[in-house]
Structure 1
């Protein structure tokens, strides 16, 4: 169209900008009225003709905007390409991007009252775009329908064009958006009458979510604080495997996180919306954004500048809580994994009373034979009574040789490694044994105050090698593996579990005392040296043996004298050492082999275990390089000086150790029993020792068998009154060799030092359970922290989420009604698009809100006549903070300070 047809007179006369003044057709005058669809109808011709903006006239056929126009009120059939709009200037061109570039051009000077720029431009006349900007587009909160002062004469456009704008032409290439943009704000949106009341009843779903979040987060915190142990529930053989339990815990933690976030953000949205209804406060965009942080913790890093620019304005109690909620939502799953997810770990040492099986007394050889797997059961076993004897002898033989070999390996390794030796018995290696072929039993030397060889030599004038070794009670193994005590075994923990027990039980002990003696000193104990003994030459040197090996005992005098008193046979110089004779009421042993020069022969033993009412077994050994002999006595009892330490590992094996004579050991048996009458040497064990001697051929010296075991043992007899640092003594080796008898004698025996049942043969037909004090530390799949720093870091997170959930639930209880949450994206969009524009957000339509925009307070206003809700400033500036004094309100416009204007303009030179 020809813009020169516009006259300044017509503009002044009209007082407003009409269709005729723009040279448009009079048949469709432009009106400042909203049609029924809320938009004007913009006709854009693509044929080079005039464009018009019209409303349907009364009396004309009504055309529905929804069916004939797009979202901007433009008829799709009439809209042409952008090139046509530029080729044929029309009504829309007066407000095109080129013609409005001066609004962002900081290089232009201020306008004069007649609407022209103080700075010359490419055109000598201001052009219609200036008139339209002054008359139709005032940058204020006032309606566009208000009139503006008439422009000065000569304001009509002569058709000249403005200088090209450097703005992106894709932001509006045909002027349609500009024209529509001006007209849609010319009238209030009377078409938008709210369909629903913003207030409604309490939301039951979100209330249930809040309850779930509160209950489960509280449960999670309790589990973490309690360090809940899951026992067989979470195990390889339980209802939940470890992998399933971990996955389940992670899933529940995630559900707690999501439900907590849902409940909290709902409450925050409600509170912010309620603030928006309160005229004195309102809500800010920064608060809405921080609410999104809770739902999307990653937005923290994307929009962190909201806190930076907000300053004191944003830091309110609510925003502080939202920041804490963001931290809780971000870290809760990690905190749950560290503090609640089941992990295999030890608990603390816990005192307990464990129960284990008891069936017989200590040292009961009859029970040991019955439990031995002889293979010959039923009628076969009854037909061969010696089957049990043979079985237990094999058991003794196998275990004893293994024990001896392991002990020899230990000393050999010490010698080969040049390990510094010691003469202190307590620091020397003790013996080991096996239980059930998979549990290693480690012994300990006890009562070492009686083991000083040098002191004994000074006292008795001879070598006295006296040692006592204790082994752990094998019954602890039975108690530990008994289901009644519910101790998790390694196979229930994928084969990698561990546990430890410190049991306050007695420990079986073996005492061996070996004393050096000459031939004459031993003569009263050797049958073949007695007057009238029946002996013959053995054929080996001058050695003599009884005529009948099994009948020589009939030549031994009776144990009772004629006056009825006990007769203790011959007295010897060894009586005070071995406690024989009438003063000690103990009978000495009698041996059947002897000769004038030596007895027994080199590298051999002779033994005796038939002493009446005796508690020990006896052996005479002959060292090949010594003239004298060594006589040894072995006895056994249960010691109260120890505790049994049982350590089980699925990877390192099973190990049981006797921990003895430690004053700081609160688990030692003597602390568990106030009876101070400790057990004496066992008379029953002597029969176990007799069977052991038979299995080891400890009486082979009668036949000069020169057995390998005898050769090894006799070589360890002491020749000097002191221990050898690099070699064990005979008493030590003998005690280790006898260790198997302690293990077999203690199986299924009481954990105390006495037998409490009066029954035949001291064998219960059905095993009973007896308790004992113990301290237990075991591995189970457990909730809770394993290191101190985890408690410091993660407990606050778990507690924070519980507190937030409690706060959310309390908020729901206190507010019975729900209001529409205008901080939700869809609600915010619906309210914002139906709200008038505001100068508080000027300049933010393209690049989004910046700095001050985040902290401007807004309220939700209501127009009763239109039943319409919309956003309105709660104040023209933030109530507090760095932007609270950034400008003042004058005539509806915000006049910024010079320094703020300079900073704004200097940072936007790229648009100039």
Structure 2
């Protein structure tokens, strides 16, 4: 303590104490100043890094994106042409496009349906079934885009099954989903102001919340008995044609069945108010569907009969394979546009996701008030989907596998099942792939009826989005953390002072550590051990030799290892405290006035 009391008030003593304190605080200061970010720095900025950058989310930045869009995604001619151009040329001018779409969707949409059912299997094993009758507790409908982007939809305009069913005494399953805009990833990749995955060096990620319109799909499934359906079942009509074989059905239905008259499309049903059906001579876009016959259990039949060009829906009539209920169930499927959601795109080195964010999870612009705007003329697209999944094979009592699984989902109670998806959810999982496949150039904002460009004419359209990037950045989160800057500055100043003081002022060179084994070996090799060790060299050291005190001394201009009791004689006189300082070409420096290497 006495030495500290006197040394602490010297220049070097004070600096030593300060250096010790800074050593304790340096790690804390480096961590505190490495956890923040500069709020004025945009997503491409490298930030004002101080020390120890850490992976962190920067503040959200508002940015503009843009890309070329087209006006329509429900035009079957354009869809067939695009698919046929990407397809192997098999010289099938008449059916090449439709065949291409159906083969592609048989794979994509079928895989979506299988994966969705698998998700329910996992849910049943991990969750409590008693708490999953609410739609919000059900797994969302999802799909895969370009084999590397997971797409997750969101429920919108949710209708409670029990409430809807009580109105007409029948089970009504009405569900709408919003599909994220698939053009957002392409717009993000083409924007040079956004960090890309290559820029992140396999670390970090970025999130884009795009204020764009979202495609939407609605599935409405209703249980109905035989009397409800007879007015729209062709086989139940008084003058219905009888078919002797499948070839007659294939030729007649629906090509020849309605060539002469569509009067039977005006048969009123108890389902008119549920589906909004009208007489065809009043509103052809909402005319009633007509099915060939009642399907057998485990079969589904589509309505390929309507000739109305503006109809937006396709319909599917189904029956449970085990006949657990006498009712059939009929489902409609239609697409549209919703402005009540945003599209969130997440990109990282571990994968990419695209999801629709709706409801309370997002704040929308007050001008975006379009809940669901139906896309007309989607019927032909829907027909390709139903044919691709063999959902019309019930016309021939085909008993397709997909149809059997689908019909097993028929609701028998006025609530959603806790263990299985509802028919509407399953139908939506099949249809999601068609929307994703056809909406690459889907408008970011809906066109008005007066400014829609031609289908073949591309138009540049922009949209606003908030971008948040997670990358290695530095800075301070709070103002009080900036006090640690003093620690960093003083640490740098003391290190700089030591460098100047020792290297320039004192000109102290590097010294060799005599205690290193290799140095001691060389010293011992050149030393006379006659008085240090009493045994023979070939015998090695004896146990008593380890207790012999030794010291490094200089004799005749050379450092040697000798016994402690030996005196260093110079000119015949004893000089045990003789100072020495040896300088060699290798920069070795002894310590003046002291013996070295004592053990």
| 1:314-333 correspondence runs (5 A) | none
Deviation sequence 1:442-498 (CA, Å, 0-9, x none): 1222211x2x22222221111111111222221222122224342221x44333432
Q: Residues 544 and 593 of structure 1 are in contact (CA less than 8 Å); yes or no, is this contact kept in structure 2?
A: no
Tell me the residue number matched to 2:544: none
The structure with the largest alpha-carbon Rg is 1
Deviation sequence 1:547-574 (CA, Å, 0-9, x none): 565211214426xxxxxxxx97222111
Tell me the residue number matched to 2:42: none
Cα distance between partner residues in 1 of 2:289 and 2:201: 58
| 1:639-650 correspondence runs (5 A) | 639-650=338-349
How much does 1:403 deviate?
Answer: 0.9
Residues 309, 408 of structure 1: alpha-carbon distance in 2 compared, 3 angstrom cutoff? same
Tell me the residue number matched to 2:406: 713
Q: Residue 569 of structure 1: which of 236, 250, 266 is its match?
A: 266
Q: Residues 552 and 592 of structure 1 are in contact (CA less than 8 Å); yes or no, is this contact kept in structure 2?
A: no
Tell me the residue number matched to 2:228: 521
Q: Residues 430 and 736 of structure 1 are in contact (CA less than 8 Å); yes or no, is this contact kept in structure 2?
A: no
Note if 1:506 corresponds to 2:213.
yes
Q: Residue 425 of structure 2: which of 726, 732, 740 is its match?
A: 732
Q: Residues 400 and 740 of structure 1 are in contact (CA less than 8 Å); yes or no, is this contact kept in structure 2?
A: yes
Cα distance between partner residues in 1 of 2:331 and 2:307: 14
SS in 2 for 1:748: coil
Tell me the residue number matched to 1:400: 109
Note if 1:796 corresponds to 2:486.
yes
SS in 1 for 2:129: coil
Q: Residues 184 and 345 of structure 2 are in contact (CA less than 8 Å); yes or no, is this contact kept in structure 1?
A: yes
Tell me the residue number matched to 1:771: 462
Cα distance between partner residues in 2 of 1:539 and 1:728: 34
Residues 530, 383 of structure 1: alpha-carbon distance in 2 compared, 3 angstrom cutoff? closer
| 1:385-464 correspondence runs (5 A) | 386-417=95-126, 419-421=128-130, 422-448=132-158, 450=159, 452-464=160-172
| 1:611-626 correspondence runs (5 A) | 612=308, 613-624=310-321, 625=323, 626=325
Tell me the residue number matched to 1:468: 176
Q: Residue 608 of structure 1: which of 291, 299, 303 is its match?
A: 303
Residues 342, 748 of structure 1: alpha-carbon distance in 2 compared, 3 angstrom cutoff? farther
Deviation sequence 1:776-823 (CA, Å, 0-9, x none): 2223343436x8799467422345579999xxxxxxxxxxxxxxxxx9
Cα distance between partner residues in 1 of 2:126 and 2:334: 34
| 1:105-504 correspondence runs (5 A) | 308-309=5-6, 340=50, 343=53, 345-364=55-74, 365-372=76-83, 374-376=85-87, 380=89, 384=93, 386-417=95-126, 419-421=128-130, 422-448=132-158, 450=159, 452-489=160-197, 491-504=198-211
SS in 1 for 2:266: coil
How much does 1:602 deviate?
Answer: 1.7
Cα distance between partner residues in 2 of 1:371 and 1:485: 31
How much does 1:342 deviate?
Answer: 7.5
Deviation sequence 1:355-382 (CA, Å, 0-9, x none): 14232235334444444375557xx588
Residues 416, 779 of structure 1: alpha-carbon distance in 2 compared, 3 angstrom cutoff? closer
Cα distance between partner residues in 1 of 2:156 and 2:145: 21
Residues 344, 826 of structure 1: alpha-carbon distance in 2 compared, 3 angstrom cutoff? closer
Tell me the residue number matched to 2:570: none
| 1:55-66 correspondence runs (5 A) | none
Q: Residues 536 and 546 of structure 1 are in contact (CA less than 8 Å); yes or no, is this contact kept in structure 2?
A: no
Cα distance between partner residues in 2 of 1:622 and 1:739: 23
SS in 2 for 1:742: helix
Residues 394, 332 of structure 1: alpha-carbon distance in 2 compared, 3 angstrom cutoff? same
SS in 1 for 2:330: strand
Residues 733, 369 of structure 1: alpha-carbon distance in 2 compared, 3 angstrom cutoff? same
Cα distance between partner residues in 2 of 1:375 and 1:309: 88
Tell me the residue number matched to 1:672: 365
Cα distance between partner residues in 2 of 1:351 and 1:584: 48
Cα distance between partner residues in 2 of 1:772 and 1:305: 74
Deviation sequence 1:608-637 (CA, Å, 0-9, x none): 253512111111111131322111111111
How much does 1:679 deviate?
Answer: 4.9
Cα distance between partner residues in 1 of 2:155 and 2:259: 40
Residues 735, 678 of structure 1: alpha-carbon distance in 2 compared, 3 angstrom cutoff? closer
Note if 1:587 corresponds to 2:281.
no
| 1:780-795 correspondence runs (5 A) | 780-784=471-475, 791=481, 794-795=484-485
Cα distance between partner residues in 2 of 1:456 and 1:826: 92
Q: Residues 80 and 100 of structure 2 are in contact (CA less than 8 Å); yes or no, is this contact kept in structure 1?
A: yes
Cα distance between partner residues in 2 of 1:719 and 1:657: 32
Tell me the residue number matched to 1:660: 358
Cα distance between partner residues in 1 of 2:16 and 2:250: 102
Q: Residue 759 of structure 1: which of 453, 456, 478 is its match?
A: 453
Deviation sequence 1:392-448 (CA, Å, 0-9, x none): 222211111111111111111223346334211121112110100111111222211
Q: Residues 601 and 622 of structure 1 are in contact (CA less than 8 Å); yes or no, is this contact kept in structure 2?
A: yes
Deviation sequence 1:319-361 (CA, Å, 0-9, x none): 9899768977998899779553574623324132241423223
TM-score by length of 1: 0.47
Residues 361, 803 of structure 1: alpha-carbon distance in 2 compared, 3 angstrom cutoff? farther
SS in 2 for 1:672: coil
Deviation sequence 1:678-717 (CA, Å, 0-9, x none): 5521114333222212212221111111100000001111
Indicate the structure whose relative CO is greater, using CA pairs within 8 Å and at least 6 residues apart: 2
Tell me the residue number matched to 1:742: 435
Cα distance between partner residues in 1 of 2:166 and 2:106: 38
Cα distance between partner residues in 2 of 1:556 and 1:618: 21
Cα distance between partner residues in 1 of 2:226 and 2:188: 52
Residues 443, 547 of structure 1: alpha-carbon distance in 2 compared, 3 angstrom cutoff? closer
Residues 331, 715 of structure 1: alpha-carbon distance in 2 compared, 3 angstrom cutoff? closer
| 1:89-108 correspondence runs (5 A) | none
Cα distance between partner residues in 2 of 1:771 and 1:322: 62
Cα distance between partner residues in 2 of 1:722 and 1:390: 39
Q: Residue 552 of structure 1: which of 232, 238, 257 is its match?
A: 257
TM-score by length of 2: 0.70
Cα distance between partner residues in 1 of 2:173 and 2:362: 28
Tell me the residue number matched to 1:232: none
Instruction: Determine which structure has the larger helix proportion and give its number.
Output: 1
Cα distance between partner residues in 2 of 1:395 and 1:553: 31
Note if 1:638 corresponds to 2:337.
yes
CA RMSD across the alignment: 4.1
Residues 792, 528 of structure 1: alpha-carbon distance in 2 compared, 3 angstrom cutoff? same
Residues 677, 782 of structure 1: alpha-carbon distance in 2 compared, 3 angstrom cutoff? closer
Cα distance between partner residues in 2 of 1:790 and 1:391: 64
Cα distance between partner residues in 2 of 1:782 and 1:677: 40
Cα distance between partner residues in 1 of 2:427 and 2:66: 31
Residues 430, 314 of structure 1: alpha-carbon distance in 2 compared, 3 angstrom cutoff? same
Cα distance between partner residues in 1 of 2:289 and 2:2: 102
Cα distance between partner residues in 2 of 1:502 and 1:458: 39
SS in 2 for 1:658: strand
Q: Residues 311 and 377 of structure 2 are in contact (CA less than 8 Å); yes or no, is this contact kept in structure 1?
A: no
